[in-house]
Amino acid sequence: MRRKMLLGLLALALPTVVFADSVTVIPVDNPSFETLPSGGLDVDCGHGCHFSRAAIPGWSGGDGQLRPSVGHDGLFDTFAPRDGRTSAYSNGGAISQQVGATVQDGLIYTLTLEIGRRNDVAFAGSADLLVGGRRFMATGATPRPGHWSTFTATFVGTSANAGDSITIQLNSSGVQGNFDSVKLTASPVPEPGTLSMLGVGLIGLAGLVRRRFKL
């Protein structure tokens, strides 16, 4: 019993040892679009819905920001679960931001964001990371009407792209792409020895589970 407990604790602790304190958040200006243009959300779209057609602080391009109606007869059934209720939107264009950091060799860069689907229009949103002329597309499950889904894009910094700029691009293929909760992180590529340790721990955990099911 004691041996089983030690194996289980080792396997559970290893991911923490490997990845704790290794993720760096790269600053993104106005990541949840709660900073409004000087004129605010000056257009009323009914049922508690307001939007702007002004430049989005911290971003280039796009159409504006939206605080949609939510719930019965709303543009959304739910709203993205982070940082307020204001999102960005684009009608057939792109919203972009070049972050201050540049690519470093040996780091994994991860973009996450929420992309929404209004109740009354087809899903039109997508997102990319642009690095040195290369496009890394964010992937995720297409949200149901009135809901949001998390999309993720990753790339690995190498000596070939070290020093390249990093641009976040939010795209819309029609009416309307909706975006919120943009986050960019960097973490070290795990060393081969570290991955081996993690594998040993996971094998121990698998063996523990098998033995428990045999009892």
Domain-embedded: residue 99 = yes
Tens digit of each residue's pLDDT (9 = 90 or more) over 31-45 = 999 999 999 999 999
Residue 162 pLDDT: 97
Residue 133 pLDDT: 87
What is the domain range of residue 155? Answer: 25-189
Tens digit of each residue's pLDDT (9 = 90 or more) over 39-77 = 999 999 998 999 999 999 999 998 999 999 999 889 999
DSSP helix/strand/coil, 87: strand
- Check if the beta carbon of residue 84 is closer than 8 Å to that of residue 66: no
Q: CA 119: distance to chain centroid?
A: 22
- The rounded percent of the chain whose pLDDT value lies above 70 is 80
- Nearest 10 degrees: Cα torsion 95, 99, 105, 111: -50
What are the two backbone dihedrals, phi and then psi, of residue 207, each rounded to the nearest 5 degrees?
-65, -40
Sign of CA dihedral 159, 95, 150, 126: negative
22: left (phi over 0), alpha (psi -120 to 50) or beta: alpha
Domain-embedded: residue 1 = no
Q: How many domains does the chain have?
A: 1
Domain-embedded: residue 118 = yes
Domain-embedded: residue 114 = yes
CATH (domain of 108): 2.60.120.260
Domain-embedded: residue 214 = no
- Mean pLDDT of the region 146-150: 97
Domain-embedded: residue 144 = yes
Choose between 19 and 7: higher pLDDT. 19
Burial of 197 (C-beta count, 10 Å sphere; 0-12/13-18/19+): middle
Is the predicted pLDDT of residue 18 greater than 50, yes or no?
no
Domain-embedded: residue 201 = no
Choose between 91 and 201: higher pLDDT. 91
| Lowest-confidence region among 62-66, 76-80, 178-182, 201-205 | 201-205
Structure tokens at 214: 């045999």
Burial of 163 (C-beta count, 10 Å sphere; 0-12/13-18/19+): exposed
- Give the confidence band of 4 by pLDDT, cuts at 50, 70, 90: very low
Domain-embedded: residue 107 = yes
What separation in angstroms does the CA of 175 have from each of 67, 93, 100, 162, 197? 16, 10, 30, 37, 49
| Residues contacting 196, CB < 8 A, separation 6+ | none
Residue with tokens 């040996």: 106
Residue 7 pLDDT: 41
